[in-house]
Structures are given as C-alpha cells and as structure tokens.
C-alpha cells in the first residue's frame, strides 16, 4: 500500500466552523514511557510532528498531562504557528508519576490548566479545549461554570469533553456548546455506542482514543487478518478504516512516536471497505465485546 494523505478520510467542521480532515493525530505517545517525561528518541518525535502537515493531518489532539507538558512543548517547537492546523488540548487530569492519573476539577485549577496551555502552545486562544475528566470529587456544575466563563473571556474557542455519558453531555450543554466528545472506542470496545449515536444525531465530533485495537480478531488466520491480506493492508489499518466508516462524525486520532507507523496509519484513509466487509467486522467486533463483558 502506498503512502497517502489524510485528505482521503474526508472532512468535519468542529463547532460548525473549524474544517479538519477526519483522520487526526493523538500526541500522547510522543512522550516518555508511561506518558511521563521526554521521549526516548526526541529527534524522531519531532520528525513525526513535522510529517503531519505533509500527510494532510491538520487536527492534533494533546493534553497538558502528556509528559506532563512535554507533548505541548514539542508541538510548539515543531509546528508553531500551526498554519492551517487545529491543535486541541485537554486539562483537568493531574500526574503523580508514570501511568498515574488523577482528575482535579477545582475551578481555579482548570483555569490554571487553560492559562498554562495557552502559554506552552504559544497561542492567545485554544481552538478546542477539552475537560480531560469530570472530577467526581468536585461539583460538576462548578467545573462547567468556570469553563463557560473562560469561553466567554475568549481563552477557549470551542469546548469538548472526555470519557462522558450522554447524560453528562446534556448536563454540560446547559453551560456551553459541546462540540466534541473523546471516549475510548474501537472495533472491539463498544461501551460508548450510545454516546456515539447521540453525537451523530447532534453533529458533535466523536474522537475515539485507542482506535486501532482489534483484540483477538487480529490473530493470524482470523477474519480480520484474512480481510487485511485481501486488501493488502495490516489488521490495524483495517480496524482504523472500520472506525472511519462507522460514522461521519468520527475523528480517530491514532498516535505514535515513529514516522513509519504514522505513515502506515495515514494510509488506512484510502482503504475502501465494502458494506459487506464493514458489517462482517461490525458483527465480529460486537461478538468480541460481548464475550469480554461476559468474562468480567
């Protein structure tokens, strides 16, 4: 399969105005092990970022907790002033070490998150700022209110949420328009089907994280690997193509710290799954998801 550009994935208007190609880039993996500290190969991480506009990827998702701060710093070093690109970031998740995360939603902390991301990214307004997690130990109304205040002040252009239910989206919309939702979702992880359907109904961007996963379906000799061989693709590329076909509001953000892997992911945008192939994979994915649910 030849390398292509993300233009083949189609487009979506975030908030009805920010036009991006649907296949984006998640900038979590350009940090160190456990999403902590500097990347092992800093030069390669910068090459990945420099390659994004060449591949037509104009939507980047990051967070202040990635590193922490490392991902935002690298993005600014490589891509500022982000001509033709939308850089989304997140706040409200703190770090206590590698692979350790804790939500903090106190209003003064969320304001600090936004102000510091503005400084690190070198912008006067964040195009899309997402609440990384709703803090269960802080009144969610207080969290939503301070976000709405920062949007009115012009610090944030558009607001998104992460790892939320339909009820939480509806609650947040009492304070600000929700233009994106970022939940875990892939071929074999279907917990957010209802959220995705709601987002499609309301034309809210659904940003699936961990979109490449295919579970046991990717094993040699399985239907997914057979389909991948027929399409001259990898199982991960087919899984990503399925995600793109699942909904027009889907904006997958596969991440990597290697240029070769980035190019492989981008090439998935040209895979043309037939309706039969899509429905076959959909049924297999649901079966895998139900099997997992039954074993818990």
pLDDT score for 1: 39
Sign (positive/negative) of CA torsion 254, 257, 261, 263? positive
Told to judge if 109 belongs to the known catalytic residues of this protein, a careful annotator would answer no
pLDDT score for 277: 95
Bridge partners of 90?
A: 130
DSSP state of 239: H
- Determine if the pTM surpasses 0.85: yes
pLDDT score for 294: 81
| Nearest CA-CA partner of 45 in 59, 22, 28 | 28
The one catalytic residue among 66, 82, 175, 189: 66
Rg of the chain (C-alpha set): 18
Domain ranges of the chain: 6-212+247-256
pLDDT score for 295: 66
> From first to last of its 296 residues, what are the pLDDT tens digits of the chain?
344 799 999 999 999 999 999 999 999 999 999 999 999 999 999 999 999 999 999 999 999 999 999 999 999 999 999 999 999 999 999 999 999 999 999 999 999 999 999 999 999 999 999 999 999 999 999 999 999 999 999 999 999 999 999 999 999 999 999 999 999 999 999 999 999 999 999 999 999 999 998 888 988 888 899 999 999 999 999 999 999 999 999 999 999 999 999 999 999 999 999 999 999 999 999 999 999 888 65
Residues with Cβ within 8 Å of residue 9, at least 6 apart in sequence: 21, 22, 23, 244, 269
Residues with Cβ within 8 Å of residue 105, at least 6 apart in sequence: 92, 131, 133, 134, 135, 137, 138, 140, 142, 143
Q: Domain 6-212+247-256: which topology?
A: TIM Barrel (3.20.20)
């Amino acid at each position: 399969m030849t390398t292509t550009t993300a233009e083949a994935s189609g487009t979506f208007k975030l908030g009805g105005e920010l036009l991006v190609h649907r296949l984006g880039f998640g900038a979590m993996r350009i940090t160190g092990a456990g999403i902590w500290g500097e990347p092992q190969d800093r030069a390669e991480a910068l090459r990945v970022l420099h390659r994004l506009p060449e591949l037509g990827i104009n939507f980047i998702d990051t967070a202040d907790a990635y590193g922490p701060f490392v991902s935002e710093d690298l993005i600014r070093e490589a891509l500022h002033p982000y001509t033709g690109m939308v850089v989304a970031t997140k706040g409200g998740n703190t770090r206590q070490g590698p692979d350790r995360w804790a939500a903090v939603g106190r209003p003064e902390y969320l304001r600090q998150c936004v102000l510091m991301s503005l400084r690190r990214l070198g912008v006067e307004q964040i195009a899309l700022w997402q609440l990384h997690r709703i803090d269960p130990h802080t009144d969610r109304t207080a969290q939503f209110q301070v976000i709405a205040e920062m949007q009115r002040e012009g610090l944030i252009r558009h607001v998104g949420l992460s790892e939320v239910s339909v009820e939480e989206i509806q609650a947040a919309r009492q304070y600000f328009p929700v233009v994106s939702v970022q939940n875990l979702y892939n071929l074999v992880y279907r917990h957010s089907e209802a959220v995705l359907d709601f987002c499609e109904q309301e034309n809210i961007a659904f940003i699936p994280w961990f979109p490449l996963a295919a579970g046991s379906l990717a094993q040699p000799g399985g239907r997914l690997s057979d389909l991948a061989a027929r399409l001259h693709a990898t199982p991960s590329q087919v899984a990503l193509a399925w995600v793109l076909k699942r909904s027009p509001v889907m904006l997958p953000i596969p991440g990597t710290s290697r240029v070769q892997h980035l190019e492989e992911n981008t090439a998935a945008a040209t895979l043309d799954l037939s309706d039969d192939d899509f429905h076959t994979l959909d049924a297999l994915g649901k079966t895998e998801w139900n099997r997992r649910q039954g074993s818990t």
